[in-house]
């Protein structure tokens, strides 16, 4: 498969970072975003921007989608006159969004019937990882499609994990983010307890991160974004709420009762007034604001 022009649909912080990494790796990148501001940011970064998404779907040798919701991915991929109507050689769509496996598998079947492929490849690493090309990707789909676009994936990610067939990447991401959502809650409560008992949070973290209580929340998120008060990881509370909801829906679909996961989902939902969707998701671990939250 010739891989010269890579289309990127969705030029938010993640999409633009991945587009820049692809450009740096030597690919020709053609992007599209419905936001004029994001289009301008992409042009400033040297990315060619198409006036319409159909241009990207028609011209790209491979596609990268970075969109908020599964419905957006499906709508763009199946838009009239777009990828489904494209004749000729196979095009692989790399969906880096976090979606639900049911939508992913349905879309994969539609694309396969039209002669194209889909990899669900949600990412971990945030905007900084996207810009540096150092993301972790958990990939679902066929080994053949993965091999065909491996150079594209390797330009964006430092670590690729092929976890299984279509939908498996999204299952892995939902399981991961369910844990992250819980870890942020428990980190906040642990640090709040430490402060109330007379041990400063920074001192408690030094012990936690050298012992068995550590997690990415305590090792990375709290030191980088919570303690300094920056809260600028680039991932919103609204997106985390979406992922927690999708994980809960997946548990229900497979017939599992997960009481702790259900509690975490409820806590994230109930704190919407103190932690609006637009806020950075790391604010959930802000132990200093815990007194104002409904569930300490």
How buried is residue 69: exposed, middle or buried, by Cβ count under 10 Å (0-12/13-18/19+)?
Answer: middle
- Whether 27 contacts 165, CB under 8 Å: no
User: For residue 213, what are the contacts with CB-CB under 8 A and spacing of at least 6?
Assistant: 190
Those residues with Cβ within 8 angstroms of residue 84's Cβ, 6 or more apart along the chain or in another chain: 77, 78, 110, 111, 114, 116
Residue of 38, 105, 162, 173 marked active site = 173
Give the max Cα distance, the chain. 68
Do 34 and 13 meet the contact criterion of CB atoms below 8 Å apart? no
Q: Is 242 in the active site?
A: no
Q: What's the burial of 58, exposed, middle or buried (CB within 10 Å: 0-12/13-18/19+)?
A: middle
Active site residues: 173
């Amino acid at each position: 498969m010739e891989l010269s022009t890579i289309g990127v649909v969705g030029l938010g912080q993640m999409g633009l970072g991945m587009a820049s990494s692809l450009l740096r790796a030597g690919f020709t990148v053609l992007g599209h975003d419905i936001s004029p501001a994001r289009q301008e940011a992409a042009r400033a970064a040297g990315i060619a921007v198409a006036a319409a998404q159909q241009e990207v779907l028609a011209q790209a040798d491979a596609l990268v989608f970075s969109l908020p919701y599964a419905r957006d991915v499906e709508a763009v991929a199946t838009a009239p006159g777009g990828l489904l109507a494209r004749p000729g050689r196979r095009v692989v769509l790399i969906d880096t969004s976090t979606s639900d496996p049911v939508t992913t598998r349905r879309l994969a079947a539609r694309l396969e019937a039209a002669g194209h492929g889909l990899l669900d490849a949600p990412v971990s690493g945030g905007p900084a990882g996207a810009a540096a090309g150092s993301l972790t990707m958990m990939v679902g789909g066929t080994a053949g499609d993965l091999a065909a676009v491996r150079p594209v994936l390797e330009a964006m990610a430092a670590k690729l994990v092929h976890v299984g067939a279509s939908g498996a990447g999204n299952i892995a991401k939902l399981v991961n983010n369910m844990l992250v959502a819980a870890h942020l809650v428990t980190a906040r409560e642990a640090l709040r307890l430490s402060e109330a008992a007379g041990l400063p949070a920074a001192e408690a973290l030094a012990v936690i991160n050298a012992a068995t209580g550590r997690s990415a929340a305590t090792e990375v998120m709290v030191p980088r974004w919570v303690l300094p008060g920056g809260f600028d990881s680039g991932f919103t509370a609204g997106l985390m709420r979406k992922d927690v909801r999708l994980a809960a829906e997946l548990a229900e679909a497979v017939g599992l009762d997960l009481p702790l996961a259900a509690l975490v989902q409820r806590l994230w939902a109930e704190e919407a007034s103190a932690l609006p969707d637009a806020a950075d998701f790391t604010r959930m671990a802000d132990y200093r604001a815990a007194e104002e939250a409904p569930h300490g």
